[in-house]
Amino acid sequence: MADGPTGAVLALLGVLSVYAASGSGPVVERETGGETEWAEPWDGAVFRPPSALGAVGMTRSPRTPQPGREEAGDLPVLLWWSPGLFPHFSGDSERIECARGACVASRNRRVLRDSRTRALLFYGTDFRASDAPLPRLAHQSWALLHEESPLNNFLLSHGPGIRLFNLTSTFSRHSDYPLSLQWLPGTAYLRRPVPPLQERAEWRRRGYAPLLYLQSHCDVPADRDRYVRELMRHIPVDSYGKCLQNRELPAARLQDTATATTEDPELLAFLSRYKFHLALENAICNDYMTEKLWRPMHLGAVPVYRGSPSVRDWMPNNHSIILIDDFESPQKLAEFIDFLDKNDEEYMKYLAYKQPGGITNQFLLDSLKHREWGLNDPLLPNYLNGFECFVCDHELARLDAEKAHAASPSDSPSPETHIAQPSHMDCPMPTPGFGNVEEIPENDSWKEMWLQDYWQGLDQGEALTAMIHNNETQQRKFWDYLHEIFMKRQHL
């Protein structure tokens, strides 16, 4: 995934997979003879960004807005503090209809101090302590949308950082509006037929490795290249992209890193020739699973996976991926992959979920069925709009509770403040991809970058929390601290 504020926003848009208003988006799932089938997108539309945001439809509800709110001019305002994600047509404000009633969504920061502005919506990769809208107003909720890993913002991986927010929408199932399956369109995506083993055997006879590695983001918190480098000593790995590269993709167009996260048919056809894909996430967080996991399963390859420690909870059955951490060493993993590569019957057991009735994980099935947003589904909102309506409904309920308390304090208690918890991100301190941190030299780039960023994220969260809860005399100390961090990073 892209890093940096701009790149992360584009990455987020790339995974929305919204139904284009122009009608150009394909129907990706259809029912034929009682079996759900997957219609392969011809242009990567499953993970294609909407055109200039204009194709993102608004979340609407058939119900009539609650009487009295609009006439009184007191519709709650939701302010997108990350204006680049404002999920509406051109303009600064838009009325939205949600399950509980109506709100006004806006990206105009001039409404920050308005008494009607009840919630501020932040995109986690963009959130910086130096840009926090202080002083924080007591009547406003802060809502966080962050489907990315902590790679771009370690502040959110610590209690003081995540507790700055009231509502969350993250990859964690424990967040208020979970996005755990943001890269999985549906069960049909997993049922794509497996290429004939004879074709893959021919590919091997032509000198290609059993294992594929495709990565162009080489310095990441999970330190995945260190592990792959060691694994390469024990088994052949074809590495494409910029990380540990030893082969070139067959066409210059496919070498563009932007293509690597799409459903480009030429790229998919090439990748599907490999029996095993190294699928290593850029960071280790519970429930953080990306296309690196789901795409090999779509193609009928076996993911050799390191990432979410809770990944087994989400698998189609209990025998569909190889977990790196189940093996005591890269050598033992290499021996097991070599065994499967030479034993088709054992290998095919990992693809049994593609057969009728092969998806047996009820938790996965229920999660897909009941999620409130969809990918390329015109009947469901994309998760930007869904999150917006979730916040709107929360603020409408909070307003009603406040009014009830004001009218009858003895009968209606004051609404409790909802605070996000560390489990809403659940990303522990980075550890080396291979070996012990004590064995890694102090000048190692991973050690200098990610361990320092991790602890600086904690410091920023604690400083910002102190800034919010203390008087303005803390302000100068706070800004001096941020400047010190900036200067340190300039010299890395």
- Sketch the domain layout of the chain as residue ranges: 77-181+381-428+439-490, 187-367
pLDDT of residue 280: 98
**How far are the Cα atoms of 11, 187, 209 from residue 290, in angstroms, in the given order?**
12, 16, 24
237 or 28, greater pLDDT: 237
**How far are the Cα atoms of 236, 336, 480 from residue 348, in angstroms, in the given order?**
21, 14, 59
**How far are the Cα atoms of 7, 118, 174, 320 from residue 316, in angstroms, in the given order?**
31, 41, 20, 7
| 357 φ/ψ sector (left φ>0, alpha ψ -120 to 50, else beta) | left
Nearest Cα to Cα of residue 26 among 36, 14, 11, 38: 38
pLDDT of residue 97: 96
58 or 392, greater pLDDT: 392
* Residues β-bridged to residue 119: 78, 141
| 55 φ/ψ sector (left φ>0, alpha ψ -120 to 50, else beta) | alpha
pLDDT (tens digit per residue) in 395-423 = 999 999 999 999 999 999 999 999 999 99
58 or 209, greater pLDDT: 209
Cβ atoms of residues 254 and 188 within 8 Å: no
pLDDT of residue 73: 63
pLDDT (tens digit per residue) in 279-327 = 999 999 999 999 999 999 999 999 999 999 999 999 999 999 999 999 9
Which helix (H) or strand (E) segment is 12 a member of? helix 5-16
Sign of CA dihedral 445, 449, 451, 452: positive
Whether the bond into 316 is cis, omega within 30 of 0: no
Which helix (H) or strand (E) segment is 168 a member of? strand 167-170
pLDDT (tens digit per residue) in 162-205 = 999 999 999 999 999 999 999 999 999 999 999 999 999 999 99
CATH tag, 187-367:
3.40.50.11660
Residues 6+ apart with CB under 8 A from 75: 69, 95, 102, 103, 104, 116
Cβ atoms of residues 132 and 371 within 8 Å: no
**Residue 25: both structure tokens together:** 């988006």
pLDDT of residue 478: 58
- Beta strand 102-106 pairing with 93-97: antiparallel
pLDDT (tens digit per residue) in 106-118 = 999 999 999 999 9
Whether this model's pTM surpasses 0.85: no
Share of the chain above pLDDT 90, in %: 64
13 or 301, greater pLDDT: 301
| 260 φ/ψ sector (left φ>0, alpha ψ -120 to 50, else beta) | alpha
Mean pLDDT of 124-146: 91
pLDDT of residue 33: 35
Banded pLDDT at 492 (limits 50, 70, 90):
very low
Is residue 204 helix, strand or coil? Answer: helix
Banded pLDDT at 6 (limits 50, 70, 90):
very low
Distance in angstroms (rounded) separating the CA atoms of residues 153 and 125:
6
pLDDT of residue 283: 95
